[in-house]
Homo-oligomer: A and B are copies of this chain.
Amino acid sequence: MSIKTIKWVENHARIIDQTKLPGRLEYIDCRDVETMWQAIKRLSVRGAPAIGVAAAFGVLLGIQKFKGQDKAKFLELFNKTCDYLSTSRPTAVNLFNMLNEMRAMVRSNPQADVANLKKLLYKQAMLIFKTDRDVCRRMGDHGAKLIKNGMRCLTVCNAGALATVDYGTALGVFYSAKKQGKKFSAYSCETRPLLQGARLTCWELLRQKIDTTLICDNMAASLMAKKHVDIIFTGADRIASNGDTANKIGTYMLAVLAKHHGVPFYIVAPRSTFDLKIKSGRQIPIEERKGEEVTHFAGVSIAPKGVKVYNPAFDVTPADLITGIVTEYGIIHPPYVKNISVILSAAKDLNEFIPTR
């Protein structure tokens, strides 16, 4: 039942086409960087960590057809490829962070020739891929400590295997808790407009035999008022150095409701989702997507022609509404301004996470 959201197969990337789920489990073989760019843009592959891996694989696709030994030309193509991939989506910082990891590999090997650089970049992309697998399992194990028997856990959007290589951030916590034999149930907010909760999270959780109930986003408040929600876990697209967190639209709503009802609210995200260059959530660019995502479903119009639409894909949850941030190093608690830098600076290098298995 394992889910392979993205992997490298011989000389190309294979991704699950998430726009087809839950109806059909189909794959897209990305053999050039343009196909990968489109796949990211139209959300065939989505979820901050998965986008990071997709970007690294996109770089491999962009450079692998380069012939010859002209290093200047190679570097020109490499940089153009990175710049191009960075235009696919604006909010999830994993995209930029992983492109930076690829750039750093080139920068730190100034003597390498073209053939060598290709090998080094391949190695780096595979490290990024393997790191995601390892890091998600570590986060899951840390987060699972928060789940007690009988708990009802709420989540939004999809922060699962489909948002990462194969395990998940918020849903990784569920999977680890399940492995540990804990009994709990899940509420999945459907997550309008693109219904990643209904389509993807419910699909994943049912495959893993987790007791799951689907709700519309506007029902979460009512559930909390009835004390049917014990804890909330969500993923993240970008976390500022003060702990402010951008995630799927509706996350901030849940955080405010959680505060009002006294429900613990946790973010689950790896180091690659932190953007320590920015001080607060105000500096996070929020992607606005086209109105048709809201006004149409499966080609059918659900709103009168000509109505204006506001369709931000993300919102920002201020740090003071976040109970804790589950990372691969453990759970970071407030004060975030101090604790994020203390914990993340303890491990500066991706190489620390090479999976040993």
Contacts and interface: CB of A to CB of B under 8 A. Distances in A.
A213 B195 CA distance: 21
Interface string A248-283: 011011001101100000000000000000000000
Given A225-B252, A252-B222, A303 B22 contact: yes
A285 interface: no
Contacts of A311: 215-216, 219
Contacts of A260: 256, 259-260
Interface stretch (A9-17, A77-85, A160-168, A198-206): A198-206
Interface stretch (A45-53, A139-147, A292-300, A332-340): A292-300
A68 interface: no
B297 A221 contact: no
Given A307-B206, A310-B219, A23 B301 contact: yes
B22 A219 contact: no
Contact of A302 (B195, B211, B308): B195
Contact of A214 (B225, B253, B308): B308
B202 A315 contact: no
A309 B189 CA distance: 10
Nearest to A216: B192
A143 to B, nearest CB: 23
A204 to B, nearest CB: 9
Interface of A: 22-23, 187, 189-193, 195, 198-199, 202-203, 206, 211-223, 225, 249-250, 252-253, 256-257, 259-260, 291, 294-295, 297-298, 300-304, 306-312, 315-316
A253 B220 contact: yes
Contact of A219 (B187, B189, B223, B249): B249
Given A222-B312, A253-B220, A303 B214 contact: yes
18 contacts: A191-B218, A193-B216, A199-B304, A206-B306, A211-B308, A214-B291, A214-B310, A215-B309, A216-B217, A216-B311, A217-B218, A221-B250, A221-B252, A221-B315, A223-B310, A225-B315, A257-B257, A297-B298
A105 to B, nearest CB: 37
A308 B213 contact: yes
A298 to B, nearest CB: 5
Nearest to A256: B260
B303 A249 contact: no
B22 A215 contact: no
Given A221-B253, A249-B219, A213 B310 contact: yes
Contacts of A187: 310
A203 to B, nearest CB: 5
A120 B202 CA distance: 55
Contacts of A249: 216, 218-219, 222
Query: Lowest 7 A-B CB distances belong to which pairs?
Result: A218-B250, A221-B253, A192-B216, A217-B218, A222-B315, A22-B304, A198-B303
